[in-house]
Chain A
Amino acid sequence: MSKFHVSTTVNGDAVEYLCDPRETLLDCLRDKLNLTGAKEGCGTGDCGACSVSVDGRLVCSCLMLGVEAEGKQIDTVEGIAEGDVLHPLQKNFIEHAALQCGVCTPGILVAAKSLLEKNPSPTEEEARYWLAGNLCRCTGYDKIIRAVMETAEELREAS
Chain B
Amino acid sequence: MDYHSPASFAEASALAANATGITRFLAGGTDVLVQLRSELVTPDTLIDIKKIDGVSDITRNVDGSWTLGVAATGAEMSEHPELSGDWPGVVEAMDLIGSTQVQGRATLTGNLCNGSPAADSVPAMVAAGVTVTITGPDGNRTIAAEGIPASPGKTTLTKGEVVTAVNIPARGENGGDAYLRFIPRTEMDIAVVGVGVSLRLDGDTITEARVSLGAVAPTVLLVDDCAKAIIGSTLDDVALDALAAAASAACNPIDDKRGTIEFRTEVAGVLAKRAAKIAYARAKGEQA
Residues of A at the B interface (CB closer than 8 Å) are: 1, 4, 21-22, 24, 43-46, 48, 51, 54, 57-60, 62-65, 67-68, 111, 114-115, 129-134
Contacts and interface: CB of A to CB of B under 8 A. Distances in A.
Given A46-B188, A133-B188, A4 B3 contact: yes
Contact of B101 (A22, A43, A51, A68): A51
A44 B100 contact: no
Contacts of B100: 58, 111, 114-115, 129-133
B52 to A, nearest CB: 14
Interface in B27-51: 29-30, 33-34, 36-38, 46, 48, 50
Contacts of B188: 46, 132-133
Given A132-B188, A133-B188, A48 B105 contact: no
Contacts of A134: 99
A136 to B, nearest CB: 14
B75 interface: yes
Given A58-B100, A132-B187, A133-B98, A64 B105 contact: yes
B102 interface: yes
B102 A133 contact: yes
Contact of B75 (A57, A68, A111): A57
A63 B48 contact: no
Contact of A21 (B37, B46, B50, B75): B46
A136 B24 CA distance: 33
B105 A21 contact: no
Contact of B3 (A60, A64, A65): A65
Nearest to A134: B99
B62 interface: no
B34 A48 contact: no
Interface residues of B, number: 26
A21 B34 contact: no
B30 A45 contact: yes
A59 B99 contact: no
Nearest to A43: B37
B105 A22 contact: no
A44 B34 contact: yes
Contacts of A45: 30, 33-34, 98-99, 101-102
B30 A21 contact: no
Contacts of B29: 63-65, 68
A24 B29 CA distance: 11
> Top 5 A-B pairs ranked by shortest CB distance?
A133-B99, A21-B3, A57-B104, A59-B104, A132-B187
A151 B101 CA distance: 21
Contacts of A67: 3, 5, 48
A7 to B, nearest CB: 14
Contacts of A60: 99, 101-102, 105
Contacts of B99: 45-46, 48, 60, 132-134
A4 B48 CA distance: 14
25 contacts: A22-B36, A24-B33, A43-B38, A44-B34, A44-B38, A45-B99, A45-B102, A48-B101, A57-B73, A57-B75, A59-B105, A60-B102, A63-B29, A63-B30, A64-B105, A65-B3, A65-B26, A68-B29, A68-B48, A115-B100, A129-B187, A132-B100, A132-B187, A133-B99, A134-B99
Contacts of A131: 100
Interface string B1-40: 1110100000000000000000000100110011011100
A68 B50 contact: yes
A142 to B, nearest CB: 17
A63 B102 contact: yes
A64 B33 contact: yes
Nearest to A110: B101
Contacts of A64: 29, 33, 105
Contact of A62 (B2, B37, B187): B37
Nearest to B76: A57
